[in-house]
Amino acid sequence: MSDESRTSSRRTVLKLLGSGAVAAGTAPRLVRAAADAVVAETLRGNSGKPLKHEQIRAVRRRFAAKHAPRDGGRPQVAFTDLSETIGDSRVMAYNVVSDGSGAPREQFATRDGPADAPGVGSERSDRLHEKADEMLADAKAAAESSGGLSIQSTGDNWSDWYQYGSTDLYHEFPKMGDYDVRPGNVKFVNDVRKAPDQDRAGARVKLRMEPGRQVCNDGFDGYCSPTIQDGYKNKRAVIFQDWDQPVNSTPTEDLLTDTDPEGQISDVTTTRSVSLGLEASKSGVAASVGYSSSVTLPAAELVDATTLAAGESEHKFDVNSPKSNSSTYNAVFEVGSASRWTPDCAADGRATRRVMLDVHVDLQWGLDTPLTAWGDVISDDKSFTYVTYC
């Protein structure tokens, strides 16, 4: 679907579906879950018997009821919609982890393509199990550390904001293109948070694009063939963070307060200090939220294509050439946005399924040709719909 049709179809229903009393944007009355240590639950499937959505939903509900902070008796958490994020992909592994200070973080290791025959694919299953184990270890380490980075004395620390919805996804994309090979793997790290003392929310989306050429050269099947020896390379990614949802009573043109990057960055291979403006003040000084962002995008650029009045951030990652390191090896980049968050909930107080934020990522890979031009460009995408109750 084109950007124009995707936006147009969504806009026809936005702001027309929500009704009821407006929540005044005050901080929720959170009762924190007791936790003296990081806790986690895991599920593991295999190539012949992947995990079912029902299994994951049962674990996430039970885990959130026990470990997520509560407001009015309900866990304060926004889980991603499995039908959108996972769809028909096969889930090889699932983790959910919490330190009791915020909503649980979910982690998935998934792959696309037909199921393997009995006795085949155990190596691929083991590999994705290892990826899930790595993500779990990283989450535990992050929860046990202080995290975050204050940019200025008047700014909030990202780690002090309430963690509302967090997802790690490591995904193997399906075979496609003229040569019927996998274009590569992508790790998505999403973090959605709410300010503790004002009607603001923020989101960070980090991608690690592992091109098929690199995965093939590391000895994994399915990413190259006798016809295509080098495999596909990273070409492009476009990331949308859509805050314009019916539950949010803020007018569309007033939603976004800031984005990162703002403007354009290029050829970056280091840790950046980020400060998102909130269009609010604390003690008469402009408020912001800060964090550090570790990125690696040599010979590539990350461009801010956001129109603030649209209520949706848009960032484009483009590799300069199929010869560059960002195309041939891992490209790591992150984007963020901050928005006003004033939920409009039904006055009767019943739990109602609401979308807080849509994250959509369009991806492209291509082949390196002798003329230094992209050949056989192929595309795929991933969406994360964060659903909450109010």
106 located within any domain: no
DSSP 282-316: ETTEEEEEEEEEE-BEEEEEEEE--BGGGTEEEEE
Position 133 in a domain = no
In a domain, 246, yes or no: yes
pLDDT of residue 224: 87
Minimal CA–CA distance to 212: which of 182, 187, 235?
Answer: 182
Q: Which residue has the higher pLDDT, 243 or 346?
A: 243
Distant-in-sequence, close-in-space partners of 221: CB < 8 Å, separation ≥ 6? none
Q: What distance in Å separates the CA atoms of residue 201 and residue 195, rounded to the nearest whole number?
A: 6
Of 17-31, 59-73, 140-154, 273-287, which one has max mean pLDDT?
59-73
Q: Once rounded to an integer, what is the mean pLDDT over residues 276-303?
A: 68
Q: What average pLDDT does range 358-382 have in this prediction?
A: 91
Q: Do the domain assignments include residue 341?
A: yes
Give the pLDDT of residue 115: 66
Q: Comparing 220 with 255, which gets the higher pLDDT?
A: 255
- 371 Cα distance to chain centroid: 35
Check the CA dihedral 31-33-38-42 and report its sign: negative
C-alpha count within 13 angstroms, C-beta hemisphere, residue 342: 16
pLDDT at 375: 84
Nearest CA to 221 among 276, 262, 180, 261?
Answer: 180
Mean pLDDT of 279-308: 72
- Picking from 32, 17, 138, the residue whose alpha carbon sits closest to that of residue 77 is 32
Q: Region 211-218: what's the mean pLDDT?
A: 92
Mean pLDDT, rounded, for 226-249? 89
180-210 pLDDT tens trace:
899 999 999 999 999 888 899 999 999 999 9
Residue range 133-137: mean pLDDT, rounded: 94
Least Cα distance to 313 among 355, 363, 266, 256 occurs for: 256
Contacts of 287 (CB under 8 A, 6+ apart): 154, 155, 156, 198, 277, 278, 280, 281
* pLDDT score for 6: 45
Q: How far is CA 369 from the centre of its chain?
A: 32
104 Cβ contact partners less than 8 Å away, ≥ 6 residues apart: 60, 63, 64, 67, 68, 77, 96, 97, 98, 166
- pTM recorded for the entire structure: 0.84
Q: Is 129 exposed, middle or buried (0-12, 13-18, 19+ CB in 10 A)?
A: middle
For 254, the domain range is 3-30+146-389
Rounded average pLDDT over 41-54? 94
Computed over every residue of the chain, the mean pLDDT equals 80
Residue 35 has pLDDT above 90, yes or no: no
On the question of pLDDT at 14 being above 70, the answer is no
| Domain containing residue 205: CATH number | 2.70.240
- Average pLDDT (72-85) is 88
Share of the chain above pLDDT 70, in %: 76
Using 50, 70 and 90 to split pLDDT, how confident is the model at 110? very high
Classify residue 127: in a domain, yes or no. Answer: no
How far apart, in Å, do the first and last CA atoms of the chain sit? 31
Going by pLDDT thresholds of 50, 70 and 90, the confidence category of residue 11 is: very low
The percentage of the chain sitting over the pLDDT mark of 90, rounded to a whole number, equals: 48
Q: With 70 as the cut, is the pLDDT of residue 367 above it?
A: yes
pLDDT at residue 141 in the model: 83
Residue 318 within any structural domain of the chain: yes
The pLDDT, as a whole number, for residue 118 is 55
pLDDT for residue 273 is more than 80: no
Looking only at the bridges linking them, the beta strands covering 156-157 and 285-294 are parallel
Residue 317 predicted with pLDDT over 60: yes
Mean pLDDT of 67-80: 83
Is residue 138 in a domain?
no
Q: Is the pLDDT of residue 373 over 70?
A: yes
What number is the average pLDDT over the span 169-178?
92
Confidence of residue 120 (pLDDT cuts 50, 70, 90): low
Question: Could you report the per-residue pLDDT of 138-152, keeping only the tens digit for each?
Answer: 888 877 664 433 333
Neighbours of 101 (CB within 10 A): 13
The total number of structural domains in the chain stands at 1
Does residue 325 lie in a domain region? yes
